[in-house]
């Protein structure tokens, strides 16, 4: 996997570089003069298609659809931005079972996850100009999965955690319509007003990838201290932190600003993670279509 | 156009988890499923040595019975027979058309008949949560039937039951044919019969590829319950149908001076069962840990012996000889 990242990343950055240097010098100076900082509170809802596979309990992929909710605090300026996000997702999954010649096995698993995400990005002047803003920085992300699959008996509960420090790159392209434009659609000739819009692409690549996974036997007969034993600590007592695997996250976002400073956006978010743990691997991936409302709370 | 190409490129780049993950290994191929299950058991099953099982030999015996053309029914029969070599009721193969069971209870005589109790000893018992109970022998003895550790009872309910029998000479706790359930109900019940924290055993869990590779010994303590306790004599009735959590319970009582086991040895089930899925979607489970007594011995998997052996006489269904003996022990 590390090879894949190494191959893709330079291509992506090279693409940004090509676009940036084709701009003229005047517009670049004009752009860097903007110094205002905007504060937003974002609320988003997403429809997710996700899949996972926990080799400790099953060699099969589990696929499903679900709902995601996120609340975000965002501080955005031309030169720097900071984002803090809390999210929650819930979905229903079924195993991708090969077709039986007899009676088809099935099953249903519930999947929920909680996420916290903190990111800081700084502008890369060399790759930015009036129309393009490129920022790089770092992200801390932690995700706690809670899975339930009754068919797996005492292994019914899956509780892995992914915590990652990621290298981040964000490219924003200003695709605003600066002048009114009339469309010619047979009988209809609507006039499109000027509007501020952005197209944004964010790439996060895991640099330090921690995961918290069960021990060798997955279930574990842990210490029993009478009725004082806490079932949660009993379940987690053989879990181990590992530093291995990978995590990737990308987001392609189209943002349309309203005259009052608020905005709406539509995003496609893709995420993939692989956690070998100490014994058996866990893999998950998700594709999310997300709608976000940006409430402009403050300008400075 | 440039932006369209860019967006498509990003979407393609962003959807490549199939290239990043190992291939899908779901399969209905009989030999692949056999090898997968055999290997999972080999890696994690906990009682190969106690039961003197040569797992490689088991593979050599059963694998040739299958071919790529074997039907699903044939595959089930072979996998079930292979798992039954483990002689363990915590081991099952679960499919939509059948479930494999070893049935340890059939290795001994049946020693419980519920109707005999209901008809001739306790025609109108109280039913408090999962506990069925009443007085016996002119209110000298309290009888409590707990038929499954899967069934719960609240602290208030247990307080009520023990308060009811506080003036008896002793209690009979009937765990015959209690097939087990939640391990957390074991200390919840046993904590009513002691006054100080007591170490009652240990457990170890597979921690590596070798059959004798286990993690550290984990202590198993019983702590006194905060509610009403009963420290007069308690006789626990057990038999081959007493399994899993009931075996944990029975082993723990060996450290209790006021508790006596009566009946037949339990059926075993000292291992914690796991759970998993085969490449064809069928489910399985088997033991991955061992229960040890205070000396570190793992015999509980084959059953915890009774302190007093008594058998049910099926020629006279009006009498429960095990219960009669328990009453006699308490009253006299």
Burial of A260 (0-12, 13-18, 19+ CB in 10 A): exposed
Residues, chain B, total? 332
Cα distance between residue B295 and residue B2, in whole Å: 76
Residue B129 falls inside a structural domain: yes
Q: Within an 8 Å CB–CB cutoff, is residue B4 touching chain A?
A: no
pLDDT over 70 (residue B331):
yes
Cα distance between residue A68 and residue A268, in whole Å: 13
Name the closest residue on chain A to residue B291, using Cα atoms.
A221
Cα distance between residue B176 and residue B242, in whole Å: 5
Residue B243 falls inside a structural domain: yes
C-beta atoms of A224 and B280 within 8 A: no
The predicted pLDDT at position B79 comes to 98
Residue A87 falls inside a structural domain: yes
Mean local confidence (pLDDT), A89-105: 94
The radius of gyration of chain B's CA atoms, rounded to the nearest angstrom, is 25
Residue B21 falls inside a structural domain: no
Angle among Cα A121, A124, A126 to the nearest 5 degrees reads: 175
C-beta atoms of B274 and A231 within 8 A: no
CB < 8 Å from A in window 299-328 of B: none
Instruction: Name the band, by pLDDT with cuts 50, 70 and 90, for residue A233.
Output: confident
- Here the tokens at position B305 are 């012996």
Q: Within an 8 Å CB–CB cutoff, is residue B1 touching chain A?
A: no
Which residue segment(s) compose the domain that B319 sits in?
107-194+229-268+303-331
Instruction: Name the band, by pLDDT with cuts 50, 70 and 90, for residue B9.
Output: low
The predicted pLDDT at position B7 comes to 64
Calculate how close chain B gets to A273, using CA atoms only, in Å.
9
User: pLDDT tens-digit profile of B261-318?
Assistant: 999 999 999 999 999 999 999 999 999 999 999 999 999 999 999 999 999 999 999 9
Whole-number percent of chain B with pLDDT over 70? 95
Determine phi and psi for B110, rounding to 5 degrees: -75, 135
Which residue segment(s) compose the domain that A203 sits in?
2-97+105-221+231-299
What CATH number is given to the structural domain containing B326? Answer: 3.90.226.10
pLDDT over 60 (residue B170):
yes
Q: Within an 8 Å CB–CB cutoff, is residue B8 touching chain A?
A: no
Whole-number percent of chain B with pLDDT over 90? 91
CB < 8 Å from A in window 224-283 of B: 224-225, 272-283
Residue B239 falls inside a structural domain: yes
- Here the tokens at position B34 are 């056999």
Cα distance between residue B31 and residue A114, in whole Å: 40
Helix axes A2-21, B2-13, angle to 10 degrees: 160
First to last CA, chain B: 98
Residue that has been written with the tokens 């047979």 in this structure? A186
What CATH number is given to the structural domain containing A186? Answer: 2.40.128.100
Structural contact between residues B289 and B47, judged by C-beta atoms closer than 8 angstroms = no
The predicted pLDDT at position B17 comes to 77
Give SS3 for B315: coil
Instruction: Name the band, by pLDDT with cuts 50, 70 and 90, for residue B59.
Output: very high
Q: Within an 8 Å CB–CB cutoff, is residue B154 touching chain A?
A: no
Return the closest-CA partner of residue A133 out of A159, A183, A172: A172
Mean local confidence (pLDDT), B253-264: 96
Residue B82 falls inside a structural domain: no
User: pLDDT tens-digit profile of A62-73?
Assistant: 999 999 999 999
Structural contact between residues A287 and A270, judged by C-beta atoms closer than 8 angstroms = yes
**Contacts with B278 from chain A: Cβ below 8 Å:** 59
C-beta atoms of B10 and A58 within 8 A: no
Ramachandran class of A33: left when φ > 0, alpha when ψ lies in -120 to 50, beta otherwise: alpha
**Contacts with B94 from chain A: Cβ below 8 Å:** 151
Return the closest-CA partner of residue A40 out of A75, A80, A79, A69: A75
Give SS3 for B13: helix
The radius of gyration of chain A's CA atoms, rounded to the nearest angstrom, is 23
**Contacts with A152 from chain B: Cβ below 8 Å:** 275-277, 283
Residue A128 falls inside a structural domain: yes
Residue A267 falls inside a structural domain: yes
Residue A226 falls inside a structural domain: no
ipTM, two decimals, is 0.89
Calculate how close chain B gets to A253, using CA atoms only, in Å.
10
The predicted pLDDT at position B24 comes to 84
Mean local confidence (pLDDT), A167-176: 96
The predicted pLDDT at position A230 comes to 85
**Contacts with A12 from chain B: Cβ below 8 Å:** 13
Cα distance between residue A132 and residue A3, in whole Å: 29
Structural contact between residues A51 and B21, judged by C-beta atoms closer than 8 angstroms = no
pLDDT over 60 (residue B71):
yes
Name the closest residue on chain B to residue A104, using Cα atoms.
B96
Name the closest residue on chain A to residue B181, using Cα atoms.
A154
Residue B45 falls inside a structural domain: no
**Contacts with A4 from chain B: Cβ below 8 Å:** 16, 19-20
Q: How many domains does chain A have?
A: 1
Calculate how close chain B gets to A274, using CA atoms only, in Å.
8
Mean local confidence (pLDDT), A153-161: 93
C-beta atoms of B208 and A221 within 8 A: no
Name the closest residue on chain A to residue B92, using Cα atoms.
A153
User: pLDDT tens-digit profile of A193-211?
Assistant: 999 999 999 999 999 999 9
The per-residue pLDDT of chain A, averaged, comes to: 88
**Contacts with B210 from chain A: Cβ below 8 Å:** none
Instruction: Name the band, by pLDDT with cuts 50, 70 and 90, for residue A83.
Output: very high
Calculate how close chain A gets to B121, using CA atoms only, in Å.
33
Q: How many domains does chain B have?
A: 1
User: pLDDT tens-digit profile of A240-257?
Assistant: 999 999 999 999 999 999
Instruction: Name the band, by pLDDT with cuts 50, 70 and 90, for residue A25.
Output: very low
How many residue contacts between A and B have a Cβ separation below 8 Å? 194
């Amino acid at each position: 996997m590390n090879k894949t990242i190494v191959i893709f990343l330079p291509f992506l950055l090279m693409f940004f570089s090509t676009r940036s240097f084709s701009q003229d010098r005047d517009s670049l100076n004009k752009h860097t003069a903007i110094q205002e900082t905007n504060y937003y509170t974002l609320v988003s809802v997403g429809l997710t298609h996700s899949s996972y596979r926990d080799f400790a309990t099953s060699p099969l992929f589990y696929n499903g659809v679900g709902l995601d909710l996120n609340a975000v605090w965002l501080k955005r300026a031309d030169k720097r931005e900071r984002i803090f996000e809390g999210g929650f997702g819930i979905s229903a999954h079924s195993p991708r079972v090969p077709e039986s010649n007899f009676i088809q096995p099935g099953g249903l698993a519930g999947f929920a996850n909680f996420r916290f995400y903190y990111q800081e990005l700084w502008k890369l002047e060399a790759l930015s100009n009036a129309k393009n803003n490129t920022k790089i920085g770092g992200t801390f992300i932690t995700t706690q999965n809670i899975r339930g699959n009754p068919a797996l008996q005492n292994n019914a509960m899956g509780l892995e955690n992914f915590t990652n420090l990621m290298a981040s790159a964000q490219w924003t392209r200003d695709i605003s319509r600066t002048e009114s434009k009339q469309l010619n659609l047979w009988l209809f000739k609507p006039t499109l007003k000027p509007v501020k819009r952005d197209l944004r692409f964010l790439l996060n690549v895991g640099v330090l990838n921690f995961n918290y996974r069960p021990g060798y036997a997955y279930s574990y007969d842990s210490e029993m201290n009478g009725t004082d034993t806490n079932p949660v600590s009993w379940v987690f007592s053989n879990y181990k932190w590992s530093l291995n695997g990978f995590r990737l996250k990308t987001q392609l976002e189209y943002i349309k600003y309203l005259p009052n400073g608020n905005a709406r956006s539509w995003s496609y978010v893709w995420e993939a993670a692989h956690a070998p743990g100490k014994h058996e691997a866990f893999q998950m991936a998700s594709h999310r279509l997300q709608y976000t409302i940006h409430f402009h709370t403050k300008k400075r | 156009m440039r932006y369209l190409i860019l967006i498509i490129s990003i979407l393609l780049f962003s959807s490549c988890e199939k290239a990043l993950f190992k291939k899908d290994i779901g399969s209905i191929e009989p030999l692949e499923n056999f090898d997968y299950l055999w290997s999972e058991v080999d890696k994690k099953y906990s009682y190969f040595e106690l039961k003197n099982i040569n797992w490689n030999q088991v593979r050599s015996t059963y694998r040739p019975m299958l071919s790529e053309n074997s039907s699903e029914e044939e595959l089930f029969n072979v996998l079930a027979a292979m798992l039954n070599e483990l002689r363990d009721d915590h081991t099952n193969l679960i499919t939509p058309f059948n479930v494999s069971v070893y049935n340890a209870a059939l290795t001994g005589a049946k020693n419980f008949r519920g109707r005999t109790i209901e008809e001739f000893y306790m025609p109108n018992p109280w039913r408090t949560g999962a506990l069925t109970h009443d007085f016996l022998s002119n209110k000298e003895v309290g009888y409590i039937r707990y038929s499954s550790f899967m069934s719960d009872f609240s602290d208030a309910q247990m307080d009520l039951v023990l308060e009811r029998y506080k003036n008896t000479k002793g209690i009979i706790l009937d765990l015959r044919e209690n097939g087990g359930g939640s391990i957390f109900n074991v200390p919840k019940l046993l904590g009513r019969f002691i006054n100080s924290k007591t170490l009652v055993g240990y457990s170890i869990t597979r921690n590596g590829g070798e059959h004798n590779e286990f993690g550290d010994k984990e202590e198993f303590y019983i702590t006194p319950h905060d509610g009403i306790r009963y420290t007069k004599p308690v006789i626990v009735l057990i038999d081959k149908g007493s399994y899993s959590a009931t075996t944990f319970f029975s082993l723990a009582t060996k450290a209790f001076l006021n508790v006596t086991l009566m009946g037949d040895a339990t059926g075993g089930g000292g291992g914690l069962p796991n759970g998993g899925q085969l490449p064809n979607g069928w489910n399985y489970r088997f033991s991955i840990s061992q229960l040890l007594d205070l000396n570190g011995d793992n015999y509980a998997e084959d059953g915890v012996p009774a302190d007093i052996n008594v058998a049910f006489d099926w020629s006279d269904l009006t009498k429960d000889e095990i219960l009669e003996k328990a009453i006699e022990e308490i009253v006299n």
